[in-house]
């Protein structure tokens, strides 16, 4: 492992100037492991950004075919070190080999998925608005296409050391768009980041990508990330993490002389609504599956169901009692870091101290890194008096909101923007489900029917985002094919000579583009 780290070059990894050292931490063994890492200095961060800016001049003009080959090569290099990578990631996260093997597959799958999108080409969204005699003041054809923004700063997530990290979704979609990436490794898994960074660099070198197309900096201190966001070469930021962290980066980016977009996914409570006939049909099985969703990954998912709602009835009470039984039988889980464990325990203790909040599981929430699930209950009156109980508690806990059906509109008015919202309904619940679905599409980026929110598919239609405070950019997604559009912008070319147009907009390539001619839209091969 040390040999891999020592091979990193300035601008691509280990600091040669920094003196603020930190190490990996094995949460399962409660011990530090591996070599020392140093926080990158401001000059090193700025050099990485300058390299990225230089690389952009070449990389932005790289063909979709060549960028696709680059992404596929990264996936190949990651697969070449998969066994070691998964073992190192497990030592730094305690997430378990089965979970991390799956996450590694998702990481390479995302890269290959964006490679497929690049080869297909419609992500550039070419549009031709043909000039006609009827258009008053026409200046000729107007043709539009998406172009890359420029160098992107990506911050690794704590809870996904592979899929939302060094070669994760933000990096993959930025590189696919034609944007070089300066990646800030998460301090919870620096060795994992080093292995993946080396894989990216090998792929870049094999395919003669420009120096600086990918760089990595380490930083245990917030100043490293701040320096990165403030650098004038950076044109956008990708972030997955806490509300506090995402909001800080968002504000920093907006205070720049030239503000830039921050695509921050900051979590949510992901409410689930269990309607009466769904509970009556099979409450025992649903309670078992629900407990699995709450406790999946020790609750450390941004789609963890932190709130669920039922209408007051004997059947709802029985469902909650069954959920208590299943959760009580769950073993302790190891959280990712001591900091996350402390925040989790602090969050559940805060719930305990709110008058009117009932604790349904008799768990002692010490500040141990090994934790048990939590389950709390509240009514609407208490919730209205203490809206802070709807704040996300990152970990395996959920809050039951017990209401009368007539109180549903008032409850919905208290909910903020969410990544997901779920309805469980069966025959006889149609009217309530229809009204609820209409409200939830205004609250969440993804709405789900009769399924749990944990687990995010990587496909063309997925939306992993939502209204603020779930994210800072509600019109975008950080997972799925359209994630690439975060790192592009539209440009219109008016009355351009054929020779100066992007290839996708030239007349010989008009198949596969939208065209407006005589007021009628037509499309081919899209």
pLDDT 10s digits, 478-490: 999 999 999 999 9
Residue 7 confidence (pLDDT): 35
In a domain, 492, yes or no: no
Question: What are the Cα distances from residue 448, in Å, to 247, 262, 267, 292, 445?
Answer: 27, 27, 17, 17, 10
The one catalytic residue among 104, 179, 302, 345: 302
Give the CA radius of gyration of the chain: 25
Count CB atoms within 10 A of the CB of residue 215: 31
In a domain, 383, yes or no: yes
- 130 is a catalytic site residue: no
Judge if 258 and 304 occupy the same domain: no
Q: Which of the residue ranges 10-24, 194-208, 321-335 would you say has the lowest mean pLDDT?
A: 10-24
Which residue reads 């500040």 in tokens? 367
pLDDT 10s digits, 246-282: 999 999 999 999 999 999 999 899 999 999 999 999 8
Judge if 310 and 204 occupy the same domain: no
Question: What are the Cα distances from residue 295, in Å, to 126, 252, 412, 459, 481?
Answer: 44, 34, 25, 25, 29
Judge if 127 and 168 occupy the same domain: yes
Judge if 259 and 397 occupy the same domain: no
In a domain, 504, yes or no: no
* Dihedral, CA of residue 20, residue 26, residue 29 and residue 33, to nearest 10: -50
Kindly tell me if the per-residue pLDDT of 367 is higher than 90.
no
* Sign of the four-CA dihedral 79, 83, 84, 89: positive
At 234, the pLDDT band (50, 70, 90 cuts) reads: very high
Half-sphere exposure of 337 (CA within 13 A, CB side): 16
In a domain, 27, yes or no: no
Judge if 341 and 215 occupy the same domain: no
CATH of the domain at 332: 3.40.309.10
Which residue intervals of 94-189 are DSSP H helices? 97-120, 169-177
In a domain, 490, yes or no: no
In a domain, 471, yes or no: no
Write down the pTM of the prediction: 0.93
At 17, the pLDDT band (50, 70, 90 cuts) reads: confident
Please give the average per-residue pLDDT across 454-471, as a whole number.
96
In a domain, 250, yes or no: yes
In degrees and rounded to multiples of 5, residue 394 shows phi and psi of -75, 105
Which has the closest alpha carbon to 104: 123, 119, 89? 89
Residue 488: DSSP 8-state: E
Q: Chain-wide mean pLDDT for the chain? A: 92
In a domain, 511, yes or no: no
Judge if 86 and 192 occupy the same domain: yes
Rounded CA separation 499/314 (Å): 73
The one catalytic residue among 92, 103, 265, 392: 265
Judge if 287 and 335 occupy the same domain: yes
Judge if 277 and 260 occupy the same domain: no
Which range marks the domain in which residue 280 is found? 272-449
At 128, the pLDDT band (50, 70, 90 cuts) reads: confident
Rounded CA separation 495/497 (Å): 7
Look at the chain and report how many structural domains it folds into: 2
* DSSP string of 343-366, one letter each residue: HHHHHHHHHHTSTTPEE-S-----
Please give the average per-residue pLDDT across 65-81, as a whole number.
98
Residue 483 confidence (pLDDT): 98
Rounded CA separation 292/56 (Å): 45
At 368, the pLDDT band (50, 70, 90 cuts) reads: confident
User: Which residue, 449, 464, 497, sits at the end of a domain?
Assistant: 449
Residue 9 confidence (pLDDT): 35
Please give the average per-residue pLDDT across 156-162, as a whole number.
96
Judge if 235 and 342 occupy the same domain: no
Count CB atoms within 10 A of the CB of residue 419: 27
Judge if 315 and 211 occupy the same domain: no
Q: Which element (helix H / strand E) includes 317?
A: helix 314-328
Judge if 319 and 209 occupy the same domain: no
Listed in sequence order, the residues at least 6 apart from 329 whose beta carbon sits closer than 8 Å to its beta carbon are: none
CATH of the domain at 223: 3.40.605.10
Which residue reads 């975060």 in tokens? 486
- 265 is a catalytic site residue: yes
Q: Which of the residue ranges 102-116, 122-136, 178-192, 303-317 would you say has the lowest mean pLDDT?
A: 122-136
Residue 10 confidence (pLDDT): 33
Judge if 296 and 405 occupy the same domain: yes
Rounded CA separation 29/365 (Å): 20
Residue 146 confidence (pLDDT): 97
Question: What are the Cα distances from residue 321, in Å, to 279, 282, 473?
Answer: 12, 14, 39
């Amino acid at each position: 492992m040390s040999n891999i780290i020592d091979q990193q070059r300035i601008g691509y990894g280990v600091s040669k100037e920094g003196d603020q050292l930190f190490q990996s931490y094995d949460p399962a063994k409660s011990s530090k492991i591996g070599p020392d890492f140093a926080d990158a200095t401001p000059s090193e961060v700025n050099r990485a950004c300058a390299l990225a800016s230089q690389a952009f001049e070449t990389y932005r003009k790289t063909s979709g075919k060549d960028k696709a080959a680059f992404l596929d090569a990264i996936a190949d290099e990651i697969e070449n070190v998969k066994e070691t990578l998964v073992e190192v990631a497990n030592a730094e996260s305690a997430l378990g080999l089965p979970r991390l093997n799956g996450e590694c597959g998702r990481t390479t799958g995302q890269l290959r998925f964006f490679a497929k999108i690049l080869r297909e080409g419609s992500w550039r969204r070419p549009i031709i608005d043909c000039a006609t005699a009827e258009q008053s003041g026409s200046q000729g054809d107007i043709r539009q296409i998406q172009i890359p923004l420029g160098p992107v700063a990506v911050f690794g997530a704590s809870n996904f050391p592979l899929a939302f990290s060094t070669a994760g979704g933000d990096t993959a979609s930025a590189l696919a768009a034609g944007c070089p990436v300066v990646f800030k490794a998460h301090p919870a898994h620096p060795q994992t980041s080093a292995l993946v960074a080396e894989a990216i660099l090998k792929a870049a070198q094999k395919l003669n990508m420009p120096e600086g197309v990918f760089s990595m900096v380490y930083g245990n201190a917030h100043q490293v990330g701040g320096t990165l966001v403030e650098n004038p070469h950076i044109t956008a930021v990708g972030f997955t993490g806490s509300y506090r962290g995402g909001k800080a980066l968002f504000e920093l980016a907006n205070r720049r002389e030239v503000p830039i977009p921050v695509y921050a996914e900051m979590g949510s409570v992901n409410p689930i609504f269990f309607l009466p006939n769904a509970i009556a049909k099979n409450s025992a099985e649903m309670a078992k599956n629900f407990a699995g969703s709450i406790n999946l990954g020790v609750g450390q998912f941004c789609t963890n169901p932190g709130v669920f709602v039922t209408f007051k009835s004997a059947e709802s009470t029985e469902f909650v009692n069954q959920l208590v039984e299943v959760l009580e039988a769950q073993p302790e889980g190891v959280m990712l870091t001591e900091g996350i464990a402390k925040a989790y325990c602090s969050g559940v203790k805060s719930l305990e101290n709110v008058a009117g909040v009932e604790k349904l599981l008799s768990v002692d929430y010490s500040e141990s890194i090994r934790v048990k699930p939590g389950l709390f209950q509240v009514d609407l009156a208490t919730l209205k008096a203490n809206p802070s109980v709807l704040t996300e508690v990152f970990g395996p806990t959920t809050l039951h909101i017990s209401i009368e059906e007539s109180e549903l509109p008032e409850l919905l008015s208290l909910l903020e923007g969410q990544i997901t919202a779920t309805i469980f309904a069966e025959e006889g619940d149609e009217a309530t489900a229809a009204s609820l679905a209409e409200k939830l599409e205004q609250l969440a980026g993804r709405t789900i029917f009769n399924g749990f929110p944990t687990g995010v598919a990587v496909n063309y239609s997925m939306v992993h985002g939502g209204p603020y405070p779930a994210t800072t950019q509600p019109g975008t997604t950080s997972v799925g094919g359209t994630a690439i559009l975060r790192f592009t912008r539209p440009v219109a070319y008016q009355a351009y000579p054929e020779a100066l147009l992007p290839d996708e907009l030239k007349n010989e390539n008009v198949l596969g583009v939208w065209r407006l001619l005589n007021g009628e839209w037509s499309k081919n091969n899209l």
